[in-house]
Structure 1
Amino acid sequence: MTLQINDIAPDFSLPDQDNNLVHLADLKGKTVVLYFYPRDNTPGCTKEACGFRDRYAAFQTENIVILGISGDDAKAHGKFIKKFDLPFPLLSDIDHQVAIAYESYGMKKFMGKEYMGILRNTFVINPEGKIQKIYLSVKPEPHPEQVLKDLLSS
């Protein structure tokens, strides 16, 4: 089954960098930018996270919640947040169940090798809990600006 615009966003509960559970259902009434990224402290993931960080005030002004999800554990997330002064939660999807629910876990290629991993996708979830926009296989550097631009124009 392929997720589509206006589908109910798959609900989840995942631990953040402080091991506090974040429940998507608790965020109803807010717009949520849910971005999946492969790994903390890698060049592309750092560019993407810092792009969201640098625009965070603009997202907050619009009452938009930013959540990053990867397979890294809470400790790795905590270090990544501290190192780059990230102002939003990073969630640990160690068993990839949320990434699978969001069709953001699959076959990847790197230097001729194929492996399973988290795909760089983003989902905007509207205040009613429905998927408002889907970005697939995003380029990390320009992506946060595009998301903000799209949300401000909608």
Structure 2
Amino acid sequence: MLTRRTFVLTAMAAPAAGLLATPALAMTPEVFAVDGLAIRGYDPVAYFKEQTDVEGSAEHAIMWKGAEWRFASAENLADFEANPERWAPQYGGYCAYAVAKGYTAKTEANAWSIHNDKLYLNFSRAVRARWALNKEGFIKDADANWPQVLNA
């Protein structure tokens, strides 16, 4: 017989039981990609060599860490292949400011900066301006949060 007490206890237990039966939430991908393209198809090496955001080409592309990386030239592709960690943006291309704050956020290819020979991307140019006010502090926080924020 269903009494008020057993109804309340059953109702309270049901969500907890559901949590136990639910598969683990999928982890956020290690690399931020839009339509499978890292940095929205922009060339990570060009940020360093040309000091600007340059669109890559499907002609010069590779798969790395589950995303397609595009390059403006065969030379930039070869440089990346030789040492991808040297050229890839920090924190998988997620917004560096967001990672510093403990979460992930998308980025725009034109909201970037290089600091201590590392590429950082941000959600927008406005966020990049905020990031620039305390890069060292935000990098320290983001380094402490990465890659755990992928599970948040």
> If the length of structure 2 is used for normalisation, what is the TM-score?
0.26
Q: Of Structure 1 and Structure 2, which has the larger fraction of its residues in helix?
A: 2
Higher radius of gyration, 1 or 2: 2
Q: 1 or 2 for the larger relative contact order (CA 8 Å, sep ≥6)?
A: 1
